[in-house]
Structure 1
Amino acid sequence: MTESSGPVPPLPSGFLDAAIAVAVVPAFVTGAWGDGMPVLWVNDAFARESGIGVNDLAVLGKHPLLELVDDDAERERSQTDLRSGRPTTRMVSGRLLDGRDTWWQVTMTPVPGDEGPAQRWFGTATDVSTHVERQANQLASLEVERRERADLDLIAQTTELLGDLEYPYALRDIADLLRALVPWAGFYVNDDGLLFADGVDVASPPSGRGRRHARYVPEPPEDAAGERPVAQETREPARDEIQDLLEGVVEGPVMLRLDAGFPAHSASGWLRRDLLRRVVEETGALPRAVVVHAVAGRRRVLGLLATWHGVGVAADGTVTQEVRPAPGEPQHVHTVIEVVARRAGTAIDNARLYAREHRLAEALQRAMLPEQADVSGLDVWTYYAPNAEHAQVGGDWYDVLQIKDGTVGLVVGDVVGHDVEAAAAMGQLRSVVRSYAFELATPGIVVDRVDQLVTGMRIPRSASMVYATLKHQQDGDAWTVQYTRAGHLPPLLLRDGTVTQLAGGAGSLIGFGSKPRTTGQAELRRGDVLLFYTDGLIERRDRSLKVGLDALVEASARITARDAAGVGEELLSRLADAPEDDVALVVVRVPDPVADAEIQPLSPRSRRWLLPSEPASIGRARHAVLRTCQAWGLPESASAELVVSELVANGVLHGWGNIALRLFDTGDGLRIEVEDSNPAPPVTTDGHPNRVGGFGMQIVERLADWGWRPAGSGKLVWAKLHATAVG
């Protein structure tokens, strides 16, 4: 920077006026505020950009520039500055004389006078329309992006809720999410008629042949003024579009006019009344119309998604419009609702299909397994549970055979896989083993024959198995067990806190025996326990099978129960909280009348059995109760035995499927639970006229407090014995 060599010479006279006149920045001069600030002069740039020239000053004088601003948010503050004679800058919009709309950035500076308020103002105006338009486009683009992100987030949240339809309020929560787009939304399911739904009953059948809506709901009750809060029907009865939507005649969505007339028992009529009542109660507005989307499954419409988009009637009868969504609602609202309805239909159908397949698979699996077996001279308890993570049938099985008096056959096996093919292979092996077990006595020879037959049958799945025979000794309570293992884990022998692995008789998998099978042997005495199991009891992804077997041995050594069912319950509680595979478990115990009389308080105070729906199960249930009362130190009660007999008999006579028996020691009495697949509740009757029976529940009522509740697809009946009934 160089220093000035002398004073700056003054500008020539008139130079500033000429410079401002030819400047590229539009400039103008106005009069005083008190005179309305009329435009007195404009330069050439102002004339070019605004279309207002010197010849238009007369017109501009009548229309001050500042009065062209209609939507300036800072107008009042700017006028205060002008009134006070302070400089001001602001953005203004207005329409020019040629009709163009434009945005200007205007700067006003007062020109000092001799005294008093400024009599002249000098201003510059820059056209910023392009900048404002660009900024508006950017804001609009950001708003579109924000809205799309919000829509995707809403769809993601609904998808997450639809992933767990066992949650009882999944549909209610999804409807609440949709109320970010519309003032009101709600789901209806079409399960034997329309029904407003907060959640989904996954036990209902998946989509099939739909039935017509037949549910009738009366008009809403009158309010305090004696009037019903519903819109008046102003039209002739209209076509039942909701029924058409439910039957798939139309794809939808359909607009349901709530001021139209419909037959009382029609789907549209019922939905109209229910929507009016719900929307009025929740929003206080009276809707005129709703949009109804089909919630469709694979074969039929499973329900409806109704959304009210804000048009309604206020209390004074005037038509109102909700602020959200505004008039001219964007298409994305309808798109999001349609996506949610479609995903809800698919999720509901999949959940119901999965639940049905799970029930069918478990029923098929259990049908292939023998039920709880009682063997003379032995305490036997069996258990099977499929892996809860899949709905496929598995290949685990067990069998307990009373071959003849004093001889029992026992087999536990596992076919590779969890599909129908594995179940079929399991069924074939079970039949083959049963056939040879009744023909041959030595386990090694039985499995040799099974190998030969399986090789010829070309069963596609490999399988492991343990087969054992237990023979009662004639000279006392001792038993001899002979066994052979075909690639299966060794049974365990529990005796006085010591666990022995019966590792003899080892051989290859079924169908792969290249040499004669060997047979192991062990002697059993009073109090001894045999454990037969499949690898699902001990197998985990985070540990080896050997580590799992060591854990089973350790848990077995700490067992305190004095009955087979108690031993099984202790093992399940310690090892099978979250099994990763199917679990089959067979516990055989040689009773010890002396030791069994001792009370073992550390034993689990719950027991379970699975019984077939046949009369013989009544006797088995009575025997199980007596044995459990003895193990728990409870008095052997004829009342408890009688209550169990009546509940199980009721399940055998009136239920179907398997019967689950559970016993609990509550600390102040015995609780008995019996579950069957018949959802109909038990009823106390006065007996059957002209024939014997019908007093079962009356007997239970005299001896116990009882009740029932739905359980799965059936029911569970419970009875808590009165304190005076035990003993």
Structure 2
Amino acid sequence: MEPSPRRGLPDAALRTALETSAVPMYLMATPEHGLTVEWVNDAFVAHAGVARVDLLGRRVSVLRGLIDDLPDLEALRTALRGDRSFAVTVRDAPTAGAAGWVQLSFSPIRGDDGAMTHWFCVLNALPERPEETESLSSLEMSRRRMARLDLMTQVSGLLTDLDHPHVLREIADVLGRAAGCRIFFYMDDKGLAYTESVDVNTPPSSRLVRGPQTRPVPLVAGTEQTWAPDVVQAVLDGEDAGPVDVSLDARYPPRSASAVLVRDLRARLETDGVTARGIVVHPVPGRRRVLGLLVVVLEPGREFTPSLTPGTTLRAVSRRAGMLIDTARLYAREHRVAETLQRAMLPEQADVHGLDVWTYYAPNSDHAQVGGDWYDVLQLTEHDVGLVVGDVVGHDVEAAATMGQMRSVVRSYAFEMTAPGAVLERVDELVAGMRLPRASSLVYARLEARDEPVAEPVAARHAAPEGVEAPPATSTRTWRLSYSRAGHLPPVLVRGDRSVLLDGAGGSLIGYGSTPRATDELELQSGDVLVFYTDGLIERRDRDLREGLAVLGEELAGMGPSDAAGIGEQLLARVGSTPEDDIAVVVVRVPGVGDDERLQDGGPRSRRWLLPNEPSSIARARHVVVRTCTAWGVPGAAAVELVASELVANAVMHGWGHVALRLFDTADGLRIEVEDANPSPPVATDGHINRGGGFGMQIVERLADWGWRPTRVGKVVWAKVHPAGAGRLTPAGGTPRAQV
């Protein structure tokens, strides 16, 4: 490089001497002239191990890779703005020759007019660093390393909460403040896009749906237009491990990843009034592909802090973020598979004649886990009902699969044998041979109905008019309970204002029974309530199971509702409001004579039912809604019954998966919600030509306000029936109101 006369560089003889000196030296411009490297001697090139052409004309920051750690940058900048000689001691990086301590001596060079034009730097190797200086430098290095560790701790803490709606933006803000630049995250899920949060429902890195920006764009024939290489796509495809520089002025192919990134960044920076001098892109790698980009925007006059130079902390952050995001997506996919498997295996509850039955299941939502809790309600014969509640150890797909196998085994023997103890013995034998990987507990109960004739009172017979035959004798249905337990918590019997644990007929876990299983029996009375449950209902970290059982018994003894759904809802509100594990509950109530006229409710004014997607669910929905309206003393039950029937019928006819029916008393009316897995919204029509049906939503419109909202797996259709019931008279043919 030729010397510049304007800046007063050394003459030719002096320059030759400096070029051939064995001491490494270099010359750099002052901050006013950009701090660029303008001359290096042969010894410095040999010491750096970098070609001369890669050094000359570059900013002095290019030399940072030669140093393991720098002193305080602010103090160094202050010294370079001055005009006096100074020296700093640094440690060579392992890649810069032999590692050791080096003293950098800076001397000002002035022009003919006396103005300072350059800094002249000489590198002096120190065979042994002075003890006092080394102690101070080590202290400074420790301070910076602690600052780097603190930054990584902050970022790691944020990465543990990937469900936060702005987690990536917060990480970018933390890194940007520490690095002295602006940082953005772009995810390549269905096209490259700026992202502030993590969508865990996106497929993990084993699958990729390319966005429109990756489509090749052919050049127009006959034109001389050329495009800059799509360096961003090379990073996304894993062809370039990065980091890479992206020019804001280059012309990239339309719709290419580089063009999409530059266009979006320009818009964001213009909005913030920021000028960028460069863009550096780091990949955010997953297990099998690059998930996105960590984009660093360099601003004029601002430099990286030494602990966050490219290739160190930023690379570590992007790699850790990618692995955690990929792990979260893999876990979410496993959870969805397990939940789908588990819900598919949960029973489609039979409409049990003569009993009021309510069932409930929910995985532990706090930890988004899927477990092996399950229940089953079987109409074995016209007069016999089987009830099962079980718990398989674990919260994963294997636990759900084991639960499905257990359910099938118990079902097969329940229809074949009558005594619960004998059923569990056969289950033991089969499970031992199947070698199921998970232990399981369960309680199996059988309720047998008996119809006993009851003669009319003598007075009633004498009151019959002469010549008229007396009314025939009537009958009453009684129930007998028999049950057996395999390592499971005891059911609870509620009779009047007392509750009793049915802790008889106990035994070991399924598959471990080496002795005959016992069976206990009990005569049930009108109004008796049986509660079967898993440990998630009562288990808490701050109390043992014995205390939980005592709390359960106390709450059940003071229950106000007189229908199974009301008892179940109040039980969940009082005992299971903060579950720490999966919950499965079955509530069975033996109705009494005249119950429909005497039902009283003192519990939460909400009910929920999970119905199979089959026509019989429509009739069951009508029955439970009428029973609930009677319990709540709500007028206009006929309108509520009709609306619920139409909504459930639509879900059965046009949806798929189980149908969830919920009923709420909102003080100014009854709100009905029906959920299914079909995301398509309901539509009110004028009926179907040449065939019946198609008028369901017209009926709903005339009786209620209604709308719908999407869910993660489908939709919820809601309707609100006011106390006047059919008195609302909304004109037919209106549009539904979507509620998000």
1:708 match: 708
Would you say the 8 A contact 2:636–2:723 is kept in 1? Answer: no
Q: 236, 248, 256: which is aligned to 1:266?
A: 256
**How far, CA to CA, are the matches of 2:143 and 2:649 in structure 1?**
65
- In the alignment, what sits opposite 1:339? 316
**CA displacement at 1:204 relative to structure 2:** 2.0
Q: 1:93 to 1:272 in 2, by over 3 A?
A: closer
Q: Secondary structure at the match of 2:540?
A: coil
Decide whether aligned partners of structure 1 residues 456 and 324 sit closer, same or farther in structure 2, where only a CA change above 3 A counts. closer
Residue 560 of structure 1, CA deviation: 0.9
Distance 1:265 1:510, change over 3 A: closer
> Cα distance 1:330–1:581, how it changes in 2: closer, same or farther (>3 A)?
closer
Instruction: Name the CA shift for 1:435/1:322 in 2 (closer, same or farther; >3 Å).
Output: same
The structure-2 alpha-carbon separation of the partners of 1:716 and 1:207, relative to structure 1 and needing over 3 Å to count, comes to: farther
In structure 2, relative to structure 1, the CA distance for the partners of 1:417 and 1:348 (3 Å cut) is: closer
Describe how 1:491-530 pairs up with structure 2 within 5 A. Answer: 491-530=491-530
1:376 maps to 353
Aligned counterpart, 1:565: 565
Instruction: Give the SS at the match of 2:662.
Output: strand
What's the counterpart of residue 436 of structure 1? 413
Give the TM-score normalised by the residue count of structure 2: 0.71
SS of equivalent residue, structure 2 residue 251: coil
Name the SS for the 2:245 alignment partner: strand
Residue in 1 that maps onto 2:403: 426
Deviation at 1:162, TM superposition (A): 1.3
Counterpart selection for 1:172 from 169, 174, 197 = 169
The residue aligned with 2:184 is 186
1:466 Cα offset (Å): 2.2
Q: For the residues of structure 2 that align with 1:182 and 1:94, how far apart are their CA atoms?
A: 28
Match of 1:246 in 2: 236
- Correspondence for 2:537: 537
Flag the 1:636–1:527 CA change in 2: closer, same or farther, 3 A.
farther
1:348, CA displacement in angstroms?
1.4
**Contact map agreement 1:397 1:426 (CA 8 A) in 2:** yes
Matched with 1:463 is 440
> How far 1:342 sits from its partner (Å)?
1.5
Matched, 1:202 2:204: no
1:630-650 CA-to-partner distances (Å, cap 9, x unmatched) read 222212533323332333334
Report the CA distance shift for 1:652/1:442 in structure 2 as closer, same or farther (over 3 A).
same
Rounded to whole Å, the distance in 2 between the matches of 1:102 and 1:135 is 24
In 1, Cα distance between equivalents of 2:251 and 2:685: 47
Larger CA deviation: 293-302 vs 412-421: 412-421
> Over residues 87-128 of structure 1, what are the superposed CA-to-partner deviations in whole Å (9 max), with x where a residue is unaligned?
xxxx99569xxxx9899xxxxxxxxxxxxxxxxxxxxxxxxx
Q: Name the CA distance, whole Å, in 1 between partners of 2:684 and 2:611.
A: 24
Residues 418-446 of structure 1: per-residue CA shift (max 9 Å, x gap): 45554444333322322222222233333
Q: State how far apart, in whole Å, the 1-side matches of 2:85 and 2:231 are.
A: 51
Structure 1 residue 687 displacement after superposition: 5.0
- Residues 643-667 of structure 1: per-residue CA shift (max 9 Å, x gap): 3233333433444333322221111
Q: Provide structure 1 residue ranges, at least 5 long, that are not aligned to the other structure.
A: 1-70, 74-90, 104-129, 217-233, 311-320
Equivalent of 1:307, from 296, 314, 327?
Answer: 296
Q: Do the aligned partners of residues 246 and 658 (structure 1) sit closer, same or farther apart at CA in structure 2, a change above 3 Å counting?
A: farther
1:658-677 alignment runs, 5 A limit: 658-677=658-677
Q: For the residues of structure 1 that align with 2:510 and 2:377, how far apart are their CA atoms? A: 19
Instruction: Please tell me whether the aligned partners of residues 185 and 307 of structure 1 are also in contact (alpha carbons under 8 angstroms).
Output: yes
**Distance in 2, Cα, partners of 1:331 & 1:423:** 46
- Aligned counterpart in structure 1 of residue 270 of structure 2, from 276, 280, 293: 280
Task: Indicate whether 1:155 and 2:132 are aligned.
Answer: no
Which amino acid counterpart does residue 496 of structure 2 have in structure 1? D
Q: Is contact 1:259-1:289 (8 Å) kept?
A: no
2:384 maps to amino acid? T
Per the alignment, do residues 286 and 671 of structure 1 end up closer, same or farther by CA in structure 2, a change over 3 Å counting? same
State the one-letter code of the partner of 2:276. Answer: P
* CA offset digits 1:222-245 (Å, max 9, x no partner): xxxxxxxxxxxx994222222232
Cα deviation code 1:135-189 (max 9, x no counterpart): 9987766655444333322222221111111110111111211221243221122
Query: Which position in structure 2 is the counterpart of 1:610?
Result: 610
The answer to whether the 8 A contact 1:235-1:261 is kept is: no
- Structure 1 letter corresponding to 2:623: H
Distance 1:188 1:654, change over 3 A: farther
Residues 394 and 102 (structure 1), Cα distance of their counterparts in 2 relative to 1, 3 Å cut: closer
Q: How many residues of Structure 1 are paired with residues of Structure 2 in the alignment?
A: 577
The question of whether the paired residues in 2 share the 8 Å contact of 1:210 and 1:301 is answered with: no
Aligned to 2:423: 446
What is the deviation of 1:294? Answer: 1.8
In 2: Cα distance, 1:173 partner to 1:486 partner: 50
In structure 2, the residue matched to 1:59 is none
CA distance in 1, matches of 2:588, 2:245: 68
Amino acid at match of 1:207: S
After TM superposition, the structure 1 = structure 2 runs for residues 4-83 of structure 1, keeping only pairs within 5 Å, are none
Distance 1:265 1:425 in 2: 49
Which residue of structure 2 lines up, in the alignment, with residue 555 of structure 1?
A: 555
Deviations 1:452-504 (A, max 9, x none): 44445455654333222212221203222222233333222112111122233
Query: Are the aligned partners of 1:189 and 1:197 in contact in 2 as well (CA < 8 Å)?
Result: yes
CA drift of 1:586 comes to: 0.8
What residue number does 1:474 align with?
451
Q: Distance in 1 between matches of 2:705 and 2:309?
A: 58
Distance 1:355 1:405, change over 3 A: same
Determine helix, strand or coil for the equivalent of 2:280.
strand
8 Å contact kept, 1:657–1:677: yes
Q: Distance in 2 between matches of 1:235 and 1:286?
A: 28
1:224-239 superposed matches below 5 A: 236-239=226-229
State the SS of the aligned residue for 2:380: strand
**Alignment check: 8 A CA contact 1:470 1:479 kept:** yes
Q: Distance in 1 between matches of 2:524 and 2:685?
A: 50
1:177–1:665 distance in 2 versus 1, CA, 3 Å: same
Aligned to 1:652: 652
For 2:526, give the aligned amino acid. Answer: R
2:662·2:674 contact (CA, 8 Å) conserved in 1?
yes
Deviation of 1:587 after TM superposition, in Å, equals 0.6
Structure 2 residue matching 1:306: 3-state secondary structure = strand
Letter in 2 for 1:510: I
User: How far apart are the structure 1 equivalents of 2:412 and 2:307?
Assistant: 73
8 Å contact 2:191–2:212 — kept in the other structure?
yes
After superposition, the Cα gap between the structure-2 partners of 1:427 and 1:601, relative to the gap in structure 1 and judged at 3 Å, is closer
Amino acid at match of 1:304: L
**Aligned ranges 1:312-331 → 2 under 5 Å:** 321-325=300-304
Secondary structure of 2:315's counterpart equals helix
The answer to whether 1:484 aligns with 2:484 is: yes
1:716 is paired with a residue whose SS is strand
Q: Point out the structure with max Rg over C-alpha.
A: 1
Measured on the aligned residues, the alpha-carbon RMSD in Å equals 3.4
Structure 1 length as normaliser, TM-score?
0.72
- Amino acid of the structure 2 residue aligned with 1:187: F
Question: Percent identity, aligned pairs only?
Answer: 58
Unaligned runs of 5+ in 2: 1-75, 87-104, 109-125, 215-223, 453-475, 728-740
SS in 1 for 2:151: helix
Distance 2:266 2:167 in 1: 23
Report Cα offsets for 1:388-428 as digits up to 9, x if no partner.
46666533322111111121111222344445554444333
